[in-house]
Amino acid sequence: MAVKPKPARPSSRYLDRLLLSLRSKKRLPTRIWPDGDHPLRRCLEPSSSDVAAAISTDDPPAPLKLSHPLLRAFESSAVNTPQFSQALAQLLVSGLARHPLAAGRAIKALCSSPSSLPFAVYLFSAVDGPDAFLSNTIIRSYLSSCRPEAALSFLRRRAPPSLVPPNHFTFPLLAKLFAELGLVSEGRSTHALIAKLGFEADLFIRNTLIYMYSSFGDVDAAKRLFDSNFESDLVTWNSMVDGYVKNGMVAAARQLFDEMPERDVVSWNVMIAWHAGAGDMGAAKELFLSMPERDVVSWNSMIDGYARTGEVGAAREYFDAVPYKNLVSWNIMLALYTRMKDYQECLKLFDDMLAVEDVKPNEATFVSVLTACANLGRLERGQWVHSLIKDHHIKIKLDVLLSTALVTMYAKCGDTELAREVFDSMEERSVVSWNSMIVGYGLHGQGEKALEMFMAMEKRGPRPNEATFVCILSACAHGGMVFEGWRCFHRMIRHYGIEPKVEHFGCMMDLLSRAGLLKDSEELAKRMPTEHTPALWGALMAAARTHCDWELGETVGRKLIEIQPRDVGPYVLLSNIYAARGRWDDVEKVRDMMKEHGLEKAAGFSSVSVNKSGFDQFVEENIPQLARKA
């Protein structure tokens, strides 16, 4: 006896075709199947009577009750769960995808997750006569997920006003969309349609129009809306103050701020943020102290303002005084310590942040921390941070910036294999990503690999920039590849049309000096079209001492002292050159010159990691302490 084969499960491709077929009203029956029938079996094994009914029926969809099981399933199930997928499949095979109420519940649920937005758009296309509520839901979801281009594409292709009549909730979304994309003509056309439909007196719409025109830079149009005889509220005043601030009209903003009948914390924050962003911390502090109440945005504006001006102490004072610190507060301070090269304090603050349970690090946090690890050479700490990024409890997206920070950290810490592993796993690579790999190979004497990476970048990567050639020339200098360095230098000028700057000449002088070609290095320095910097002469002087070219070293040393009489470096190098030649009288003269200028050579120190904790100590003190600990 033959075994009857089980019906095959519908594939995703089948469901896509089924969804597209719903656009034709005569492909599938519009009635809800009786409770005794199994919809999926009916769809997979249709009888002749079913096909005839599907072709002949032209009835409207049966009315739905709010207690319908499908509606309850969409409300109670989270997206990307099996229960939600089952409910969605029932919606498709039952023909209810054309029903506005049922499809609306499904679209609303799908819009809660950015990854399921495309399917929400497909469902929208299958609905009979979609209304503004459905299109508003999708546009709002695109805007909240920072995808205004996708929202504009959906509006033009699927929901133009001629097909989906807008309502008073649509226009604020359109005003925000056009403001973010800078579409002035579309924004003005939308305003004309608002006036034509009689929505101009709507307070919410009017406030968003003020925001839109301020974003366009048309403050006069925003002011005309503000001065109209329609109802105004606190948001109206705040929108106009913010419009003045965004367009640099601080005096007008302050005058309007002083005229406000009432103010909330947003009003104060707008003014404080502008003064802080402009570096006027005196005015920002005055407003901050005058506030009747403050929120975390107020504190963050002050911290960010002091961070922009490089006042680390004041920024830390406000940071410590914040009653409740959010992620932005921590990230501002971490980025500040990294920018000021206080990498130890950055890592200490990161440890404090992890001890706070209600604050989770994000991509910006890890970029600052990885930069600190890279500059301190903390490979183990960097690997631990990498493991935190991989931790599924913290939702981190490995974007280009964060991946590049990982590559830089591994490259600077000497693990070029792991750096290359992260680099190869990147879906998208920027110029900085390639530069990090090139400089990583160069720093650790792998000049040939750096050159291979540069050649691969020319073939399949982005166009090299000025920084790229600084990296490859430096790699050639560290690897002693004189011919390759000259080739890259000429290729930069002739093929890419990049005018060499001081950094490029410095790398070439270093390349020639390391190879003992001091005369060529000196000639290159003399032919430089730009002004010679002390760093270039210093590199040449150090090379002269290394290769025992005392005459050149003395000449360059005296020139450096003339250029920078307050820098102790040239005095020390010149003194060492005289000492190597046995000219002790000249050594004493140089030391007397240092005393006259009040210069003294600082003691050298090294950063040593003991028991996985790094600290800086003077070398003279460090050795006996380590010996005692041993």
* Neighbour count for residue 510 (Cβ, 10 Å): 22
The helix or strand, by DSSP H or E, that contains position 614, with its residue range, turns out to be strand 613-618
Residue 56 has pLDDT above 60, yes or no: no
pLDDT at 404 (0 to 100): 94
CB 271 within 8 A of CB 254: yes
DSSP string, 557-604: HHHHHHH-TT-HHHHHHHHHHHHHTT-HHHHHHHHHHHHHTT--PPPP
How do residues 321-365 score in pLDDT, each as one tens digit? Answer: 999 999 999 999 999 999 999 999 999 999 999 998 788 899 999
Average pLDDT over residues 210-234: 93
**What confidence category does residue 28 fall into, taking pLDDT thresholds of 50, 70 and 90?**
very low
CB 553 within 8 A of CB 573: yes
How do residues 464-488 score in pLDDT, each as one tens digit? Answer: 999 999 999 989 988 888 889 889 9
**What confidence category does residue 174 fall into, taking pLDDT thresholds of 50, 70 and 90?**
very high
pLDDT at 217 (0 to 100): 94
Q: Which of helix, strand or coil describes residue 610? A: strand
User: Could you report how far apart the first and last alpha carbons of the chain are, in Å?
Assistant: 85
97 or 533, which is more confident: 97
pLDDT at 509 (0 to 100): 78
Residue 506 has pLDDT above 80, yes or no: no
**What confidence category does residue 312 fall into, taking pLDDT thresholds of 50, 70 and 90?**
very high
Beta-sheet pairing, 613-618 with 605-610:
antiparallel
Q: What percent of the chain has pLDDT over 90?
A: 47
CA distance 30 to 470: 68
CA distance 150 to 146: 9
Question: Would you state the structure tokens that stand for residue 121, as one six-digit string?
Answer: 């758009």
Q: Which of helix, strand or coil describes residue 109? A: helix
Residue appearing with tokens 């404080």: 272
Q: Which of helix, strand or coil describes residue 548? A: coil
Question: Would you state the structure tokens that stand for residue 226, as one six-digit string?
Answer: 């503000």
CA distance 249 to 223: 13
Q: What rounded mean pLDDT belongs to the chain?
A: 81
**What confidence category does residue 517 fall into, taking pLDDT thresholds of 50, 70 and 90?**
confident
Confirm whether pTM is higher than 0.85: no
Non-local (6+) Cβ contacts of 190 within 8 A are: 171, 174, 175, 178
Average pLDDT over residues 429-458: 92
Residue 214 has pLDDT above 90, yes or no: yes
Strand partners, 613: 610
DSSP string, 238-276: HHHHHHHHHTT-HHHHHHHHHH-S---HHHHHHHHHHHH
Non-local (6+) Cβ contacts of 6 within 8 A are: none
pLDDT at 626 (0 to 100): 34
pLDDT at 127 (0 to 100): 86
**What confidence category does residue 55 fall into, taking pLDDT thresholds of 50, 70 and 90?**
very low
pLDDT at 384 (0 to 100): 94
pLDDT at 555 (0 to 100): 66
Q: How many residues does the chain have?
A: 630
pLDDT at 622 (0 to 100): 43
Phi-psi label, residue 598: left if phi above 0, alpha if psi -120 to 50, beta otherwise: left
CA distance 217 to 253: 14
Least confident of 579-583, 586-590, 607-611: 607-611
pLDDT at 566 (0 to 100): 67
How do residues 380-392 score in pLDDT, each as one tens digit? Answer: 999 999 999 988 6
**What confidence category does residue 624 fall into, taking pLDDT thresholds of 50, 70 and 90?**
very low
